[in-house]
Amino acid sequence: MPKFPLLSRQEIAEMLGLAESAKHTRVYQEGLETGLKKLLGREQQLVLKQLSRKVGKLPPKLESQVKALPLDPLEELAEALLDFSTLDDLSAWLDNNNPEQ
């Protein structure tokens, strides 16, 4: 039986100061970075599959441009591609949404 049955694990950890101090450890930071990279990779693969179904096989150049997108623009592309009908639509979107411009 838990000693604090009315508190969640998060509340208990915060009460003990464990949650904040753990965020500053190297292990936590490395785990967070690894998780974010996996998330980005999965999101890239999903968007690339959706694009292929929507407008056909992507040329390597366009695929590379999609893979180079950070997470936020990639999520914007995932929504925008619903309105695409050709590869030209994707090219135009990438030209207008290049984060390095």
Q: Answer yes or no: is pLDDT of 83 > 80.
A: yes
CA 20 to chain CA centroid, nearest Å: 24
**Given CA atoms 38, 62, 57, 89 in this order, what sign does their dihedral have?**
positive
Q: If we measure between CA atoms, which residue out of 46, 100, 91 comes closest to residue 69?
A: 100
DSSP class of 35:
H
* For the chain, domain boundaries: 9-96
Convert the pLDDT of each residue in 10-48 to its tens digit: 776 676 666 667 777 888 778 878 888 888 889 999 999
Q: What is the pTM of this model?
A: 0.69
